[in-house]
Copies of this chain bind each other. A is one copy, B any other.
Amino acid sequence: MKKILKNSKLFTGFNENSIEDIVSASSLRKVTKGEMIFHEKDPAEAFFIVGDGKIKIFKLSPEGKEQILMITKQGETFAEAALFGEGYYPASAQAIEDSLLMVVHKDKFLTLVKQNPNIALSLIARLSELLHKLNRLVEELSLTDITTRLAHYFINIIEEKKLSGQPIVIQLAEKKTILASQLGTIPETLSRSLAKLSKENIIKVDGSNIEINDLRKLYSITEGL
């Protein structure tokens, strides 16, 4: 567990004592692909650190449409905010790969937060980051069409990974169904959006391989964002 903690973004740089403290508030949990970690409205009794694997956090509409709020991978945490809120998880979490999670139990962790200013500050930074991302999601859902969101998604990856080349090549990290749900749409619409960008020779799609042929045009689509 120590290793997971030290590899996690939230707790990098913490001293041994703090690490031990958190370990003592935690346990491990293995989940298999497709397994639910918690459901929306379940009482929030813990938050999680991903040691390995991939977890999606999502909401469902009554009709069954899914909106993914985030996907967490190795080193990342999820459901931190639920511990401080109204006592229940505001969304659901499901493993999209076999995963190993560190489960940090609420009560013990809250005590630690109160005692350890570093944890508190780290949390503030993390919550701010989450807010920023959700802000962004709201903006995209409310103010842009799906092709724009898709272009922006590609640009994010390119900038984050500092990809370059001619053409730039992106490997989609998720199935297209998952990507659709992240972008706030359904697979059919995503498919059409990809086809549209292809037809305009901005990208070339081959399965989950995307070649960016015209980065400039891609940027011009997201203009103003």
Contact = CB atoms under 8 A, between A and B. Distances in A.
A138 B141 contact: yes
Copies in the complex: 2
B134 A224 contact: no
Interface in A14-40: none
Contacts of A125: 84
Interface string A115-141: 001001101110111111011111101
A69 interface: yes
Contacts of A184: 141-142
A131 B129 contact: no
Contact of A59 (B82, B91, B142, B223): B142
Interface residues of A, number: 43
Contacts of A142: 59, 61, 65, 67, 141, 184
A132 B61 contact: no
Interface in A67-81: 67, 69, 81
A224 B62 contact: yes
A150 to B, nearest CB: 15
Nearest to A91: B135
A134 B59 CA distance: 13
Given A84-B124, A117-B117, 15 more contacts: A59-B135, A59-B138, A60-B143, A61-B144, A62-B225, A65-B143, A81-B132, A82-B128, A86-B132, A90-B136, A117-B120, A120-B120, A120-B124, A130-B131, A141-B141
Pairs A-B, 10 closest by C-beta atoms: A62-B224, A61-B143, A84-B128, A127-B127, A67-B142, A120-B120, A134-B134, A141-B141, A81-B128, A81-B131
